[in-house]
Structures are given as structure tokens and as C-alpha cells.
Structure 1
Amino acid sequence: MPPNTTASTGQQPGKSGRKKGRKARLLLLVLVLGLIAGVTGGAYWSISTVRASFPQTEGSLTLAGLSGPVDVKRDGYGIPQVYASSDEDLFMAQGYVQAQDRFYEMDVRRHMTSGRLSEMFGQGQVDNDEFLRTLGWGRIAQEEYDKTLSASTKKYLQAYAKGVNAYLDGKEGKDISLEYAALGFTNDYKPEQWTPVDSIAWLKAMAWDLRGNMQDEIDRALMTSRLGPKEIADLYPQYPYSRNKAIVQAGRYDATTKTFGPAGSSSAAGSSTGGTAGTAGTSSSSGTAAGLQSQLAGLQNVLDDLPTAVGVNGNGIGSNSWVVAGKYTITGKPLLANDPHLSASLPSVWYQMGLHCRAVSSKCQYDASGYTFAGMPGVVIGHNQNISWGMTNSGVDVTDLYLEKLSGDGYLSDGRTVPFKTREETIKVAGGTAKKIVVRETDNGPLLSDRSSELVKVGKKATVDTAAPDRGDGYGISLRWTALDPGTSMDAVFAMDRASDWSDFRKAATLFDVPSQNLVYADTEGHIGYTLPGKIPTRAKGYDGSVPAPGWDSKSRWTGYIDDDELPYEYDPSRGYIVTANQAVIDKAKYPYTLTTDWGYGTRSQRITDLIQSKIDDGGKISTDDMRQMQLDNSSEIAKLLVPQLLKIDIEDQDVRDAQELLEGWDYTQDADSAAAAYFNSVWRNILKLAFGNKLPKELRVKGQCLWVDPVNTTGPADQTDKVRECGERDADQAQPDGGDRWFEVVRSLMDDRKSDWWTTPRSGTRPGATDRDGLFKRAMIDARWELTAKLGKDIDTWSWGRLHRLFLKNQTLGTEGPGFLQYVLNRGPWKLSGGEATVNATGWNAAGGYGVVWVPSMRMVVNLGDLDKSKWINLTGASGHAYNAHYTDQTDKWADGELLDWSFSKKSVDDGTSDTLVLKP
């Protein structure tokens, strides 16, 4: 269900507008809940009841378990800085403060990661819980706590949990959050005590959404039903190493010592343990192919319905981070920027916080500030007194799907039937009957296909001929994934928080096994660096993870993991900067291992590189504000390629010609008020639809994206019937590419082949067909003109990109699935945004579902290693998860405008900016 708007015009609300909107919602909430209470015989809900869950931020509180007093200082945006005299007190206070602001969010997250959403929200979440129990995040998190994490990490997790539970002590649901009061109308759910495992499991959810190329693996396999090898290769072009530079540009892999060094060229160039994309087939038999196609199509449906943790079900997610050495900065010390691109959520997935020991010592080791997740101790991204670090998703391939041949109570492996490993799971359902499921596992991992009755049915009916490996009950799909083994990523968080130099940081990074991230580094001594951590599998020759592998052949299984000493890194490169934006980590000719076949294609990373290099070439010095401006770069790289060709096309229709003229003189900048950006992006979407949409298998339709298709001319709530109609038409019609930078590269590689079959499209009504590239471009320009006429009106002078490209912030769970009045109360928006797909200012949209914003720079930061108090930061929403708290979305307007807040770190700077102080006493 779409969110409602805060203002009838759809404009960004001003300060007075926000106050009026908040008061109007509060009044509506009280009236509606009062009416419900009257009907049900309950007590009338007052404004004071609604505000009962707001945190105490001044005065003092007693917390049993503290060894000494802790100060919690909040600035004007409610961002807390915590001061303690021992590690345990520091993390206990962190747990208490995060629970004050965000416990409902924390509670939802832990139920998702443990496959227990049905306990909160009832029968509608049972299917999701079944799948998540099959993955077993909670079970693996428990194993990590029991077997792999260090004693100190366990101690911190216990202290954090103690702080959360101190907050919960004696409180009813309505005292914790408005959402619990709403849930109370339908079930009697009561929040339970927090545990250390609840904190660990969130890293598994994050790893799932950042899992790499699993979707591409599915898509490539499904394409074989309609496309040949050459056509599939067209849609997955090689990474353009010569044009878009890899992250690591100087380094040498020594095949003798099996270590990666900081300089020189690879002595192992050309060798590889991986094959080429698409070589890992399962069998050429019609039976095996049928089994694979049916199982993957069903699995795709299951995956589309899953709730997301931080991403959009693993599709299209990226991030930017870069670091510039002091020789090119105004301060003479490094500057480090980071803006992770994640799903837009309310509250933001990130929580800003400072964790300070009054005196750093062996008893109290931390002085760090930055971004973390509500529900997890420590700082995930940020800086301490000596170093700073940022992260982007590396995209390395850590998941493989296996087609399994099933027979009775077992599965085929090297010609013999092996019994499944099984476990029983009980799913409790709020307001309903508990359900038991059996999870089956092969040596390759859990059977994902068991979680859909349709998949099981299809698997048993799959045609099997004499070329298939065996005759029996059919097929299933299993998953091998590094995150399904116990790891040490929680250890890594604390180790990075207390690292004092590059050596410490590299050691800490080796503990960060899942998810694999690009880590950039800078320190106050002037050094910069990059390292790739992670548990990254190696595969046998002929298997590169690009398509599902035959589970019945043990040769298809992983052969081991790349050693930490072999992973690429850079330290103080001579060029003076390092850029990571999900591009290739290293040129495949310089490295012996196949890290993945599915990098991002480097559109953003090369643009950032060009911006930095241009500043250097001009002899200028880069400032903190220059870094901020780079984060806001809206330039469209695909527009630079296509617009010159679009302007050459002869257009007869004057209305279409008027739209074409918008592109004349356009600087390719996608500002919110740009009519040219609106028209070009519509042309781009229609090019993709016409060239590829009707040629792809129907199984590749992007389901669920219709949730983002909101009518743009409405002044109030979006019309649900319009949304359903658009979804239905698209699903019945064709698959639609998402429009990310892989598609930039696909189109670029086809531009010179003007007669390619991809450029053909049939006539539709009065609109012409096409037999070549320019003919298809012409048709796309026509279709785009009339699409925008329908959406924005006939007068092109009223068009703007921001009217199409809008951000709605939806509160978790009840803001998307709750009653309409609750959605109005909890949700915010829209905001008209600049930026776009695969731009540095990556306000992403999915061409399969419209122009609405589906992922965003979830935060932005610029760390000044010359003076940490002059660093800057911003969050997508605010510190609070309480709908009427002043800090619910108080950063969003500034975020949308590209502004950054002052980021105090030193005791004096924090004190100067403190608005409220709460003392926690033992």
C-alpha cells in the first residue's frame, strides 16, 4: 500500500509545513484511536499516551549493572554521544540508548532474521518465516556466539543486551512504541528480552541483501529457455577494464609465495582457477534443463516476496567510497567519503552515535564515532581518534545454486544416494495455529525449493529422460553460501573500532568474513589504503559460479577459500587516491582467482575518478565541501552516449519534436527541476523495453516493483487501482530490464551494430515498428513523449524529473502493510529528488516498475583526518524511530538538498553542541 503525502502539492515540506503535518497526523491518530477504543470498550488514547514512548534525554536514571556513571549527550538532532569509564558500561549504555530510540525497529529485525515474523504479524508472514528458517540465520548466529567469537566480543554483546533489557524492564508495549499499541488491536504480542544472538543475526540479514550475483545466476539460467549463448553474452558484456579502472591498480600476485604485494605487475597473469561465464552447465538433457528452468522460476517468485534487510532483494545495490591523500587536499591530510546505497526505509537503516571512553586504556579501549545498526553494538562505519574507514559492497561471488537430483529420502552424489540432513522447525503464529516444517540439507546446503509447495510439485513432475543422471522423484535447488557457516564479523567490528594504524586495520579486516566489503582507509598520520576482506570461495576448473551447478557431481563443489594474504589491497598508491563504487576489484589479467563474473560496470567509480583527477590536473586542492559536491554529482553517463544520436533522428510529429528539443544543450545533469532529464529517462526506459523487454523470457519479469508505481498527478494518497492496473499490464506483457549500469554497457556494446536483431520491434497501433537502431530510438522517443504526456501533462514547460522521481519513506511493517490510517500516521513524503540510476548521486529507480526512488545514498559522510571536528555527516531520516518525535525525519530535508551536518568528535566540540544530557547511574 503506498504512503500518503505530507503536503497536497507533493512539494518538500518546509519547517512550518512539517509542524502542521505532524500536528494534523497526531490529531488524526488520537481521533481514530479514540474511535476504535470507543467501539472496543478500551480507554481513550490521549496525546500524552502517544508520546509516552519518547525517550528521556535529560536528568538522570538508575541502571542496575553499571559500574560507574555514564553521560549521554545529545545534539540538536538527537544524535547521542556516550561517555563511560569501562568497555562494559559503554556498550550497556549503547544498548539502552538505542532501545530508547529504536526498539520497535530492533524487535522487527530480530524476528525477521530468526524467521519469527509470524509471531508479531500473524499468518501472512508464515511463508517468509519458512524460507528464513530454511536459511537458518538465527541458528548460525547462535553457533557463532557459542563457537567462533572471542571472549571480549561476547562480553560486549552481553553488556549491550543488558542495556536493552534495562530499558524494557517494567514497560508494556505501548510504553515502548506506538506500533506495539497498534499491534495490540490484533494480537497479544509482548516484546521479549534481548539476547546477544539477536545482535549477531543482523549481520546475516545484511549479508543476504549484499550477497553478490545470485540473481544473475538465476537470470542467466532462465535466459537459456529463449536465448542462445551469443545473445546471453550480449546481455552480460565483459567488464571494460580499459575504460573503467579497477579499484586496485598497482599490485603483484606472487604465485610462488601465494601472497599479494603492493607494487609491480602480476607474475601469475592469465592463470585462473575459474572458468568462463556460463561454462558450469548441469546437463544438456531435456529433462535436466526442464527441471532447472521450473525450479529457478519458482525460486525467483519466492525470493521476490521476501522482506529486505538493507537492500532491494539483492538487486542493483551499490555504494560509493573514496579517499584522497593529503598531498591533494587543502588540509594536507586525507579526506574520506562514503555513501552506502541501500533501500529507503523509515527509520533509516543507520543509527549515528559516538562511543567514547573518558580515558582510553586497557579498561576502556574505545573512542569511535559513526554509523551503526540499531540492535548491534559498536560502530560499523566511521572513525576513531586515529583512523577512518568506509565500506562498499564488493560484489564477490559467495553464493552458488545447485540443481539437486532427489530420490526418496536422499539426493544423488557421485552416483549414490545420500540421506538428507534434516531438522524440524516450529513457527508460532500470532492469532493462529503453529506450523511445523522440516528443513532438508544436502552437502551443498539447504534445499530452498522445499519452501514452496509449487516448487516441490514441479520438481517431482520434471521430465527425466535417459540422459539425466538418475531416475526418481525429480529436482530441487540448494544453496551454498559463506554466511551459512559460523564466522567472526562481529569480532571485526570491535577490532576496527579500536585499530590505531594500517597494520591493526588490516588484521581487523581479516575477521570481516561475511559480507565481503571493499574497505577504504585513512589515518591522521596521512596514510590511505584499501583492502578486500571476506571468505571468498575457490572453484574447480570449469565452474565459475555464473550459473547453477550440478549438485550430483562433487567436482562442482568449492575447493577452498582464498587466503587472506592473497587478497588484493593497496597502500599509499602513487596516484594519491582510491575509489571504490562496486566496480571490479582488480583486472582479471593480474590476478589468478575469479572473484566474480558479475562486477558492477564502473560507471559511478569512473565518474568519481574523473572528478578527482580533473581537480588534480587543474592544480587545485580538494576540500571537504568538494567531496560533498562530488557525492551530489547527477551526471548521466548513458545520456552522454545516447543524446547525440537521439538529436540526429528526424522527428515529424511536432509534439515529439518539442520534447526532443529539450535535449538540445542539456548538460546531462539530472536535477529535480530538469525537464530534459525527465524526458531522457523516459526515452531510456522505453529503449530498454522495446529492444529487450519483448525478447527476454517471461520468467525474468521483475515482480514486486509495482509497489513503487504511484500515480504522479495525485495530490493525496496514490490510487491503489491505478497501481494494480499498471502492475498487471506489465506482468502480462513482457520482462523489463532494470536499467542499471550493466544495461548501459549492453547498449554501448551494441551501438555500432545498427542492424542488430536487438534493435527490432513490432508496430503497435499507430506507432511505428523498427528494423534498426535509429528506428527503435525514434519509436522510443515517440513512446516517451506520450508516456510523459499521460503522467505529467501535455505542456512540456511543466515537466520536471522530480515530479517522476520521488521518494516515499515508509515505516517498517505497519507503514507498508498496516491499515490506511496507520500508514498516514507513520509514513512521510514525497520528496522530489535529483540524481538517478548509476549516477554518483545514486537515487536509484528500476525501469521495470517506473521512476520512483527505490534505493538511495542511505547516509553520507566526509571525514577530515586533519581535524576530525570538521568532518561532516547526514542520515536519511533521523535518530528516532518514534513517529512524532522531533527527530523522526529531521535530517531528511537536508539530506534531500545535499547538505551535511557538523560532526563533533572532541569532548569540547561535543559539549559545545550538546542540547540534552542524561546521566545513567549505577
Structure 2
Amino acid sequence: MPAKKPRRRGRLIVIALVLLLMAGLGYGAYWSVSTVRASFPQVSGEIAIDGLSAPVSVERDANGIPQLYGETAEDLFRAQGYVHAQDRFWEMDVRRHLTAGRLSEMFGEDQVETDAFLRTLGWHRVAQEEYDNELSDETKDFLVAYSEGVNAYLAEHSVEEISVEYAALDLVNDYRPEEWRPVDSVAWLKAMAWDLRGNMEDEIDRAFLTERLTPEQVEELYPAYPYDRNRPIVTENGAENGDIYPADALPDDAAEAADGVSTQLSSLSETLDEIPALLGPNGSGIGSNSWVVHGDYTTTGAPLLANDPHLAPSLPGVWYQMGLHCVEVSAECPYDVSGFTFSGMPGVIIGHNQNIAWGLTNLGADVTDLRLEKLDHGKYLRDGEQIAYETRTEEIRVAGGETREITVRSTVNGPIVSDRHEELEAVGGSAPVDAGAPDRGSGYAISLNWTALEPTNSMDAVFGLNTATDWDEFRAAAQDFAVPSQNLVYADTAGNIGYQAPGLIPIRGTGDGRYPSPGWDSSYDWVGYIPQEELPWEFNPERGYIVTANQSVIAPAEYRYHLTEDWSYGTRSQRIEDLIQATIEDGGKISMGDMQAIQLDNSNEMAKVLVPHLLEIEISDPYVRDAQELLVGWDFSQDADSPGAAYYNAVWRNLLQLAFGNKLPKELRVEDQCLWVPPADDSEPMEDLDGGERLIEECGERAPENAQPDGGDRWFEVVRNLLEDPESDWWSTPATSQAAGAENRDELLARAMRDARWELTAKLGKDIDTWNWGRLHRLMLNNQTLGTEGPGPVQWLLNRGPWNLAGGADAVDASSWNAAGGYDITWVPSMRMIISLDAFDDSLWVNLTGASGHAYHDNYTDQTDLWARGEYLPWPSSPEAVTERSVNTLTLTPSGASSTPNDQNE
């Protein structure tokens, strides 16, 4: 998680040596094995903890998945905090330091910039306001109980016994974890909202594009959503007619500022890239699938609901499976819920109780606006007046270093986020000034307006969803889910299915949020939020199913409010819908097996459009023609053993590089991108190459100075449209010392096929019969902190992999890769679940990794092989099913009075 830089390498080497000793690979093997095992949780017997009113039983199956049984709600959440801490406290501790802007306290000097930016955003400050002023008393009680459970675990364990990472960190930093506070849990929602924030990067990118491209060219790279081909989520009810919201360009009065602010936009973009992402890389393109089918169209006669959120792979995975069960369900203790939780937060985020089931995908509403500010010696321009901006001071403590002090500036539009990059300098003719001074002279700056900086009661929604018994209660709970804005799908045991779009979504006075807007003009301000009762919804649509996969929620002609223009383009959602419709139209019904098959579908929908064009190209080079023939008869499935999938995806990547890479601004270049550069035609004959003999794909000096598209389904739509215009300027690419240029579509496609053949020969060998997609398309699971970078020993000790996988970018089985950086997997279905509303015990689930966050525990990655093969675990719900799968029983017993709520959050 924390971004690491080369200067931190020395500290990582020290930690690596410590961990090597602890793993028994050096002196002290006996001590090291016992030290590693000391952090493993106790899973049987009895443990007395403070605050419980009665015993809580923790039943764990062979995969370490716990089901908790308690007599009161507070006891359940207190036990949940204890069990989360048993398995995942290191993850929880790092996460809370991130959300509070305190990573430097754990990891030292290299995290100061990250902390400074996060303090500027003020996640933790807003979370504290929510806890103090917005949350219900009941929610606060549950948060306090959860914190008491975490702290009970910390109180009875030394730092070395909490997790193996602490033993290493303790020797380097003399670090000791603090007690958990309720606000630490609330702040996690801010991190979720940040990673799921929508189109901030698109807003920056479009601003850069306007400096190099015409408005028409920019729109070609951001085409309109294809409503005629890919259906939005809501079509049958829950919408009111309105006017199509016009798309805006960069405002005229902000265009003049573009040159002056471009340096700060570039610095802000770099800063965003450096912020550790808990869920996915910096909020760009995070996907997910969920769908629900009415019982009229299922083999069980009751609804079936599926969900698989697509997030960045991490170790441990972001989800933690758990059940929370009141021994006797009543108004006083209404919890009988099971599903996927976040370590560090009470309750279940996705899952089912005994009446309803629900799933989540990212709605992607535009909830951020970058505002350009005109500053002049302590003031900013606002509707013709100079107004003093607000300032506050933040102290950043640094492990092994001196405390830093930063000044945060804010305008009425939000915190000034362009202050935080080390390359900051005053623009607009002023001389560079001290970034730590409260008055930085005159020039331009960038502030951020973001819904998550508005205190809300989103945490209340978690408990409301957990206890909802019908559609009305579900919708009422969803209304509290202010941030992050999500698509919620629903099913109940009465046979109903539904969809609700919740969230705090702004209404803009002027503009549509696609470009940075002038902060000095209040007409661009938000004038309110879409009323919750007017957000899109559906209930029992006639078609018999609901699909959400980050596509457009509703056609703009049918809805009076603007949600965003930066949707996923519907590739996954329409494929899911087509598969469901195919079964229904043939007179069949959807089974649990069908739901699994849909979830694992890896068809490349863009290949169906592009391959016919590729096969029409006349190829004279026999080596390239052999590769081209791999596409003949290929069924567009991206199985791990498919040579056709390997070659097609290489062609796609090279096509994007050739058509767009030399035309996009250098500011959009992906950090550390690796681009294929083929050798000169006469320098290295194809027959002399063999896979793995040399590094043909290089980063750095051979990589072009321009950006390369990431290859997601926005680019599907861009290329689909351009295929109809074979003479478009986008198809032209200059000649190089390695290859001839291209003047039109067919010439560029021919060169892309040639370059792809060279690339895969270098990577996979001359013999195309040995090629397969999985050898390129690999998953590594990296420990979120010490294993993400650094010396080999650290990675060897904490990381796992690789796995050669099927799937691809914007396939339903979205093991995605970024064409700007290579074929390795950057997005995954972070979990998979299928819920049967006919019999909850027939439901299935699987996690990306395992329940344990301890590197050498049996449950560290015990679900990963199942996940990689597309297999599932039984998901027990009833006490009988839980007992049948249980292999360990731990009883948490009362041992004394609990702390007071005030003590827990001070």
C-alpha cells in the first residue's frame, strides 16, 4: 500500500534481513519459527475479554472463516473487532495510518509527501466530525464495542505476537501500535470513497488533451455512451423524463488559465499516482459485476444474485468473510447476517441476512470537481472580490526523523490540493516560493470540491442494510449510503428483485464536471445534491433481471439530473445481459451453474469487432502470417492456454501504441510504462530470437515520451468508431528505424500484427504452438506494505505467485491488465459470490486470498488456487450448516466491565 521510493531501499534491506532470520533461514531457526507462529490466532478453547455481557462462540471452518454467535448486538461487534484483529491487525493498522495521514510514523521519511496530501484532504478530520455529529447513537455504540474488541486483543499480545511485520518494524523503528478508536473505522469509508471517486483523472487528462488536440479530437477519445447497443441499468421504472445534459468543453474563462495551471495539474497528477490505493489504482476504471435474476427465470423458482467487485490484487485481499448471528434474533438483537467484511470496520458490507441479499458495484458518479483558483498574496478571487483563504497547520511525525509542519490552505471550493507536490512552484509570473509558507505569492492553484469532505452518516447505512427485511427497509438504509456512491442490487426471500442508486451526487449550476472549472466564478458551484428519493431505482422489472457492471445508470434523455459522462462503456454489462437473455429466450432457466459460468466468462468482445479486419490484411512475411492464422477460428475466449488470445492481445496493445502513443501529451504518460520497441528489420532476424533470451520490452530510455492508452473499454469504443473511417488521421504513424510508417487503417493493422509477432517471439519463443495467454497474463499477490517493492528477500517471504490466468480487460472475468504497462494483471475479481434466495445454504463464495493476514499461516492464500480455477466454497448460513463445516470453536467469555464510550474515542 504505501508508495515506496528508491531511497527507502536501505530500510527495506534491514527489514528483509530480520524477516529472513525470523523465517529460519539464518541463525536462530528455532527462535524464528516460534516467533512466526506466535502471531497465529488462537482458534479453540476460551479467551476472556472485557466488556462482553455473555459468551460469544466463534466457529471457524477449515479455511479459517469465522461465524460468530452472540446474545447481544454489542457482543457481536465486540467479538468481530477481536477476531478481525486476530487475523488482520497489521492490515488494519497500516490502513488507519493511511487514512489519518500518518504513514510516516510507521515507515519514515519517504511517506511525508503522501501524509501531507492526505492531511490536506482531511479524511480523518471529516471522519471525526461524522462520529461526533452525524452518526446515530446506536451506530456509535457498535463502533465503540468493535474498538473494545480490537483493543482487548492488543492488550493481551506483545507487539511481536500481533504480526510478523511488527517484529521487523520494531527492530527498525521501535514502533508500538496505539489503541483502536471508533473514528479509525469511520475513516475507512473515506479511503473507499477516494478510490471510488470517479472521473478526477479524466478531468485532468482532458485538460491536458486540449493543449495538443482539437475539441473534436478530444471528443473522439471520449466518445458518447452507446445507448443503442449497451443497455443502461434502469429502463423500466424509477426514472423521470428530462432533457439531455449538454457536454461541456473547457470553460472559456478557464482556458486562459490553462497554461499557467498546467504545471500544477501535472504535479497534482503525479501526486495522485503516488497516493497508496486501498482498493484499486487511483480511482481510475475500477469495475465490478453484479446481477440478479427473478425466480420466474431460475431453476430454483427464487432469485439468484451474483457479485464480484473488481479491485487491485493485494495480499491479504481486501475482503474478510464472516457471519454475525444473534443466538436469538429479536428487535434487541436483529443480526443474522453473513458475507464480506472489511477488517477495521464493524458489520457486513456485501452479503445476505435471512430475508434479503445485496451486492455492490461502483456507480461512478462524478462527485469531484477540480476548481482553478486565482491567488494574490493570501487571498483568492471570487466573483470579482478578493477573499482571504483559510489556513491550518498540520504536524507530521516521522519515524527516525524530525517532525514536519505543513500549512493547508482552503477556499470556499475546498482544500488547495496543488500545494503538496515537491515540484510546486508559483506560476503566472511569480517567483518560486516556500511551499511551507502560508502566503505563497500570486498565481494559480487547484482546489478540490468532493462530496466525501461533507460529513454524512454513511456508517449508519451498513447496519441498516445488515438488518433490512424487505424492499422498503433496504431503500431506507440505502439512502444513508452517501459516500462512496454505489449501485445496489437486491433480492429477497419473498421473490422480489430490485436496484437502488444511492449517494451524495452534486447538482451543478453551470458545467458538467468534465473539465476543471473556474473557482473564481460561483456559477460553477454545486447548488445542492440530487434528492435521495429521486435517484434511479427499479423493482421487479418485466425483463426479469437487473445487471450492473459500471455502465450508464440511465439514459440522459430519461432523467432530469446529471450523474456523469465518464461511464464504463457497457462491454461487461451487455455481455452478462446477452448470456442471460440467450438462456431465457431459448426457454431455459438460469441455474447456479449458469451463474458461475457467466461470472467466469472471458470472451473478448472487442476481438469480435477487430479480428475480421485483421484477417483481411494481406501479410507477406511468413512469420507474421503464421501468427495471423492463430486468429482463424479463434472463439474469442481468453483461456489461459489460448495462443489466439495471447497474439490478439499483443496486437491490441501494439495497435494502441502505434495509433495513439505518439499523439497524446507527455503528461499522460504512465509512470514506469514499458513499451514494445521491435528491433531493426536487418539487425536481429526473427529466426535468431527466442523467448527469454533478452529483455526486448524496456522501460526508460527506449520508451517514447508520450502516453499509451490503458486499453480498457473506452478504447474499445474509440477504436470501434475509427474502424469505420480507414483514412482517419489517427491511423497514421511515422516511420522509424525499425519499421515503415502507416498512412491508413490497414497499414497500421499490418504493422501492429508484425510488431506483436516480434514481441511474442522475444517473450514466448519462435514456436507459436507453445504460446499461450497465461504465460503473459500473470497474477502476483504482493503483501500490501513490505512486499510491494524492495529487495528480493522481502518479496520472497511475503508475496505469493505467479498464477497464469484466463480473462482480460473488460471481460466479465475481469482479470484486467493495463496496456500501458504490460500484460501482468492489475485488476481482479476480488471475491466472487452467488446467493440462492431459495436456500441460503446453497450459496457459494470464494475470496482472492484467505482469512489470515499472517504470511506463513495455512489460511494466508488457501482460497487463491480455488479462485484461480474458477471454483467456489460452500457458504453455510444456518446453524446446522455452520456446525457441519466447523473445525475449530473458540469461546470468548466476559472478564470485566468495559471502557466507557468517551474513553474509546479520546
TM-score by length of 2: 0.92
Q: How does 1:199-348 map to 2 (within 5 A)?
A: 199-251=185-237, 253-254=239-240, 266=241, 268=242, 270=243, 272=245, 275-278=246-249, 280-285=251-256, 288-348=257-317
> Residue in 2 aligned with 1:736?
708
Moved more, 182-191 or 434-443: 182-191
- Please tell me whether the aligned partners of residues 117 and 420 of structure 2 are also in contact (alpha carbons under 8 angstroms): yes
Pairing 1:93–2:93 present: no
Which amino acid in 2 is paired with 1:390? Answer: G
Taking structure 1 as reference, are residues 252 and 190 closer, same or farther at Cα in structure 2, changes over 3 Å only?
closer
- Please tell me whether the aligned partners of residues 279 and 544 of structure 1 are also in contact (alpha carbons under 8 angstroms): no
Deviations 1:665-712 (A, max 9, x none): 000000000011000000000110000110000101111556999xxx
Pairing 1:671–2:643 present: no
Moved more, 96-105 or 471-480: 471-480
Taking structure 1 as reference, are residues 906 and 339 closer, same or farther at Cα in structure 2, changes over 3 Å only?
same
Moved more, 164-173 or 81-90: 164-173
Aligned alpha-carbon RMSD (Å): 2.2
Deviations 1:187-220 (A, max 9, x none): 1110110000000111100110100111110000
Identity percentage of aligned residues: 63
> Residue in 1 aligned with 2:97?
111
Which residue of 512, 524, 528 maps to 2:497? 528
Taking structure 1 as reference, are residues 646 and 35 closer, same or farther at Cα in structure 2, changes over 3 Å only?
closer
> Residue in 1 aligned with 2:124?
138
Pairing 1:606–2:574 present: yes
Which residue of 398, 402, 414 maps to 2:367? 398
What displacement does 1:271 show? 5.5
Deviations 1:253-282 (A, max 9, x none): 45xxxxxxxxxxx3x3x254xx41325444
> Residue in 2 aligned with 1:59?
45
Q: SS of 2:105's equivalent?
A: helix
Aligned length: 860
Moved more, 454-463 or 552-561: 454-463
Which amino acid in 2 is paired with 1:451? Answer: R
> Residue in 2 aligned with 1:263?
none
Q: SS of 1:478's equivalent?
A: strand
Partners in 2 of 1:32 and 1:350 — Cα distance?
27
Which residue of 621, 629, 635 maps to 1:661? 629
Moved more, 728-737 or 636-645: 728-737
| Structure 2 stretches lacking a partner, 5+ long | 3-15, 433-439, 678-690, 895-906
Which residue of 832, 845, 854 maps to 2:817? 845
Partners in 2 of 1:435 and 1:545 — Cα distance?
35
Which amino acid in 2 is paired with 1:166? Answer: A
- Please tell me whether the aligned partners of residues 326 and 333 of structure 2 are also in contact (alpha carbons under 8 angstroms): yes
- Please tell me whether the aligned partners of residues 30 and 47 of structure 1 are also in contact (alpha carbons under 8 angstroms): no
Deviations 1:404-447 (A, max 9, x none): 11111111111111111111111011111110101100111000
Partners in 2 of 1:80 and 1:705 — Cα distance?
41
Q: SS of 1:186's equivalent?
A: helix
Partners in 1 of 2:641 and 2:39 — Cα distance?
40
Which amino acid in 2 is paired with 1:568? Answer: P
Partners in 2 of 1:104 and 1:328 — Cα distance?
45
Q: SS of 2:35's equivalent?
A: helix
> Residue in 1 aligned with 2:55?
69
Partners in 2 of 1:764 and 1:818 — Cα distance?
36
Partners in 2 of 1:31 and 1:146 — Cα distance?
46
- Please tell me whether the aligned partners of residues 341 and 855 of structure 1 are also in contact (alpha carbons under 8 angstroms): yes
Partners in 2 of 1:645 and 1:568 — Cα distance?
39
> Residue in 2 aligned with 1:680?
648
Which amino acid in 2 is paired with 1:592? Answer: R
Partners in 2 of 1:565 and 1:101 — Cα distance?
40
Partners in 1 of 2:672 and 2:325 — Cα distance?
43
Partners in 2 of 1:575 and 1:872 — Cα distance?
25
Taking structure 1 as reference, are residues 271 and 810 closer, same or farther at Cα in structure 2, changes over 3 Å only?
closer
- Please tell me whether the aligned partners of residues 333 and 524 of structure 1 are also in contact (alpha carbons under 8 angstroms): yes
Partners in 2 of 1:730 and 1:562 — Cα distance?
49
Q: How does 1:434-473 map to 2 (within 5 A)?
A: 434-458=403-427, 461=430, 473=442
Which amino acid in 1 is paired with 2:794? Answer: L
Partners in 2 of 1:757 and 1:456 — Cα distance?
37
> Residue in 2 aligned with 1:483?
452
> Residue in 2 aligned with 1:148?
134
Partners in 1 of 2:33 and 2:599 — Cα distance?
41
What displacement does 1:49 show? 1.2
Q: SS of 1:154's equivalent?
A: helix
Partners in 2 of 1:838 and 1:531 — Cα distance?
24
What displacement does 1:625 show? 1.5
Q: SS of 1:814's equivalent?
A: coil
> Residue in 1 aligned with 2:746?
774
Taking structure 1 as reference, are residues 446 and 848 closer, same or farther at Cα in structure 2, changes over 3 Å only?
same
Q: SS of 1:695's equivalent?
A: coil
Which amino acid in 2 is paired with 1:870? Answer: D
What displacement does 1:820 show? 2.8
Partners in 2 of 1:413 and 1:429 — Cα distance?
37
Q: SS of 2:281's equivalent?
A: coil
- Please tell me whether the aligned partners of residues 277 and 597 of structure 1 are also in contact (alpha carbons under 8 angstroms): no
Which amino acid in 2 is paired with 1:873? Answer: W
Which amino acid in 2 is paired with 1:572? Answer: N
Taking structure 1 as reference, are residues 456 and 655 closer, same or farther at Cα in structure 2, changes over 3 Å only?
same
- Please tell me whether the aligned partners of residues 294 and 459 of structure 1 are also in contact (alpha carbons under 8 angstroms): no
Partners in 1 of 2:376 and 2:676 — Cα distance?
42
> Residue in 2 aligned with 1:22?
none
What displacement does 1:171 show? 2.0
Taking structure 1 as reference, are residues 805 and 558 closer, same or farther at Cα in structure 2, changes over 3 Å only?
same
Which amino acid in 2 is paired with 1:456? Answer: E
What displacement does 1:488 show? 1.3
What displacement does 1:811 show? 0.3
What displacement does 1:462 show? 9.3
TM-score by length of 1: 0.91
What displacement does 1:575 show? 0.3
Deviations 1:135-190 (A, max 9, x none): 11111110000000000000000000000000000322211000001112311110
Partners in 2 of 1:276 and 1:853 — Cα distance?
34
Which residue of 600, 608, 632 maps to 1:632? 600
What displacement does 1:822 show? 2.2
Which residue of 369, 375, 383 maps to 1:414? 383
Moved more, 337-346 or 729-738: 729-738
What displacement does 1:729 show? 3.9
Which residue of 633, 640, 643 maps to 2:611? 643
- Please tell me whether the aligned partners of residues 845 and 873 of structure 2 are also in contact (alpha carbons under 8 angstroms): yes
- Please tell me whether the aligned partners of residues 426 and 443 of structure 2 are also in contact (alpha carbons under 8 angstroms): no
Taking structure 1 as reference, are residues 458 and 301 closer, same or farther at Cα in structure 2, changes over 3 Å only?
farther
Moved more, 321-330 or 697-706: 697-706
Which residue of 770, 789, 811 maps to 1:798? 770
Which amino acid in 1 is paired with 2:634? Answer: W
Which residue of 154, 165, 188 maps to 1:179? 165
Q: SS of 2:213's equivalent?
A: coil
> Residue in 1 aligned with 2:531?
563
Taking structure 1 as reference, are residues 641 and 624 closer, same or farther at Cα in structure 2, changes over 3 Å only?
same
Pairing 1:538–2:524 present: no
Pairing 1:618–2:586 present: yes
What displacement does 1:817 show? 3.5
> Residue in 1 aligned with 2:338?
369
Partners in 1 of 2:825 and 2:71 — Cα distance?
44
Partners in 2 of 1:158 and 1:206 — Cα distance?
21
Q: SS of 1:921's equivalent?
A: strand
What displacement does 1:461 show? 4.4
Q: SS of 2:348's equivalent?
A: coil
Taking structure 1 as reference, are residues 116 and 375 closer, same or farther at Cα in structure 2, changes over 3 Å only?
same
What displacement does 1:766 show? 4.3
| Structure 1 stretches lacking a partner, 5+ long | 3-25, 255-265, 464-470, 710-717
